[in-house]
Structure 1
Amino acid sequence: MATPRSTPSARPYHHGDLRRAIMSAALETIAADGPAALSLRDLARRAGVSHAAPAHHFKDRAGLLTAIAAEGHELLAGALREAEDLREAGVRYVRFAREHPAHFQVMFAPQLLRTGDVELITAQALSDAALRDAVAGVPARDRGVESRLAGVAAWSLAHGFATLLLAHNLDDALGGGEPEEMFREVAATLFRPGAGPDTDTA
């Protein structure tokens, strides 16, 4: 009988990459079953190390989730920086959520995190700055509101769309279409050239 292959998350770590191995296994667990299913003891077993080993890198479950959230904000900031305008920044936000669902679940759940962690605060500042820069690139006449409110509106639209998407609440509306294309159409109703507060858009 052939010996079953081990999955990547079940292989013992080597060459000192335990931190990455634990985070990768955690991301798999969160994507499949949510953050509540996360157990350091189980992750250590999957990585083939003692149950105490993950604590050397993350201390506890909150530390692991905080590291995942910080990594997520760094990845999101990089994605937003690649956008040529605010609408495309929203598209990349939605794409990030699709490609990194476990990060996305944890990043905006402060009750699970060490919110005072320096690494997390720094990473959050990067993603916040990337969104602000995208909003700043929209002429004031097109925003219709001051930049702070425009940023809230843009974030709310992208985050709400991504959240509904991951929860499969948009499956019927999409009808098999691409989420990013639907988001582009939805976003087109938010920031339209010349559609300021005094413009008749009827």
Structure 2
Amino acid sequence: MRRTLLTMSSSKASATEKGPGGRSYHHGDLRRAILTAALEAIAADGPSGLSLRDLARRAGVSHAAPAHHFKDRAGLLTAIAAEGFGLLATTLRAAADLEEAGVRYVRFAREHPAHFQVMFAPELLRTGDLELTAARALASDALREAVTAVPPEGRGTDARLAGVAAWSLAHGFATLLLSHNLDDPVGDQDPEEVFRKLAGMLFRHAE
């Protein structure tokens, strides 16, 4: 009986962790707190200068907590990228057609700029990570399905090349938009409406 009580007590303790201020986190909550702090730091300063020690301070957790959950900076950024590709896959699958998928791609980049920066920085990631690979495949499949749904007369006979063109347009537009290189050309116009016009120039919808 005593051994059972000790085991239960030990399991309960391992399910929670404390920050330096004594605040208790459930294991999953602490991981989420670290990810949230990392996303805020990346949105403000970019991913290249991210420090696990500074991140722990931002999140209000022990210095060892980020390394405990993600091992190192590459592990943390890989988790962020995997989460981002999963979110992107979900939003692309909700699109009614290819044009809407492109609009949703641009919207995702605007709403999740930190994820977007990290997702396409392979030099910062563990590119062979299984979770990342699976999430990236889901996003690629969602875009591919949107492309193949367009009749050949609207996209050409090479669906693979059409997919590259669609991705290049959406990704290039989103990247230029986030880096403020489209501030003058877009002006006060809604960026999503501008993108719709560009997509219409590239892909003709079959009647």
Kindly provide the CA deviation profile for residues 91-142 of structure 1, in whole angstroms up to 9, marking residues without a partner as x.
0000000000000000011100000100000000100000000001100111
Change (3 A) 1:73 1:13: farther
**Identity value in percent:** 74
Partner-residue secondary structure (3-state), 1:14 = strand
Aligned-partner Cα distance in 1 for 2:176–2:157: 26
Residue of structure 2 aligned with 1:179, choices 191, 199, 202: 191
Residue 78 (structure 1) aligns with: 90
Aligned-partner Cα distance in 2 for 1:86–1:13: 46
1:24 to 2:36 alignment: yes
Change (3 A) 1:56 1:86: same
The one-letter code sitting in structure 2 at the alignment partner of 1:56 is H
Residue 200 (structure 1) aligns with: none
Change (3 A) 1:78 1:13: farther
Structure with the higher fraction of residues in helix conformation: 2
Partner-residue secondary structure (3-state), 2:193 = helix
- The ranges of structure 1 where at least 4 consecutive aligned residues each deviate by more than 4 angstroms after the TM superposition are none
Deviates more, 1:151-160 or 1:33-42: 33-42
TM (normalized to structure 1)?
A: 0.88
Residue of structure 1 aligned with 2:154, choices 142, 156, 173: 142
Partner-residue secondary structure (3-state), 1:54 = helix
User: What value does the CA root-mean-square deviation take over the aligned residues?
Assistant: 1.5
Q: CA deviation at 1:13?
A: 6.0
Q: CA deviation at 1:58?
A: 0.3
Residue of structure 2 aligned with 1:99, choices 107, 111, 114: 111
Structure of larger gyration radius: 2
Deviates more, 1:28-37 or 1:45-54: 45-54
1:1-202 aligned at under 5 Å gives the runs 14-16=25-27, 17-193=29-205
Alignment size in residue pairs: 185
The one-letter code sitting in structure 1 at the alignment partner of 2:141 is A
Aligned-partner Cα distance in 1 for 2:186–2:153: 32
The one-letter code sitting in structure 2 at the alignment partner of 1:58 is F
TM (normalized to structure 2)?
A: 0.86
Unaligned runs of 5+ in 1: 1-10, 195-202
Aligned-partner Cα distance in 2 for 1:183–1:130: 19
Residue pair 1:79, 1:92 contacting (<8 A) in 2 also: yes
Partner-residue secondary structure (3-state), 1:36 = coil
Kindly provide the CA deviation profile for residues 130-187 of structure 1, in whole angstroms up to 9, marking residues without a partner as x.
0000001100111124100000000000000000000001111112111100000010
